[in-house]
Amino acid sequence: MDQNKIWESFGIKTDKQNPRALAVNTVLAGKYLVGPVLGEGGFGITYAGYDLNMETRIAIKEYFPVELVTRDTTRRSAGDSGAASGGAVSGSSVSGAFASNNLASGSSASVSGVSSSGGGSDRVISLSGEKSKTYQQGLKKYVDEARNVSQFADIPGIVSVKDFFYENNTAYIV
């Protein structure tokens, strides 16, 4: 199926995207298609998404504190709409629970960037010095939030965490 038709079928327009956001139709973790931005806050960007395996709509939250990071888009070609296929988290150093996405575990993970194999790079780059340290502390809190929320998946009124992973030198909650 044409990826843009997925968004059209949901009534979502893909014509405008914040340049600091992931490009529409980027694939994360080899199975999540990134759609347009739904919202942005001080610490992250929320995207419409589509699970390519389950063929269902999802939301994808990306840890992206705008005051602490920038995005490396230098390898995107001029005509690239961002249809980069991030693929699996190969090239990333992920240990313990996150290799199997077991969020309740106390395991830690080290994060390194993953370049998209489609020619573009959407790697998040933390700014230097104290901002880098603050970014790493915030990333840890983001991970803790994912673990905590994942424990309440069956409670009505609380959003359920379907998946969690590291890619592009940041973390994502599905």
- Look up tokens 């077991």; give the residue: 102
Torsion of CA 47, 52, 53, 58, to 10 degrees: 20
pLDDT at 131 over 90: yes
Q: What is the share, in percent, of the chain residues with pLDDT greater than 90?
A: 47
Rounded Cα distance, 33 and 129, in Å: 33
Q: Return the ∠ at Cα 112 (arms to 22 and 19), rounded to 5°.
A: 20
Confidence of residue 95 (pLDDT cuts 50, 70, 90): very low
Domain count, the chain: 1
Check residues 63 and 127 and name the one with the higher pLDDT: 63
Count of helices and strands (H, E) across the chain:
2, 8
pLDDT at 8 over 60: yes
162 appears as a binding residue in the annotation: no
Range of the domain at 160: 3-173
- pTM for this entry: 0.73
Over residues 141-159, the pLDDT tens digits come to 999 999 999 998 888 888 8
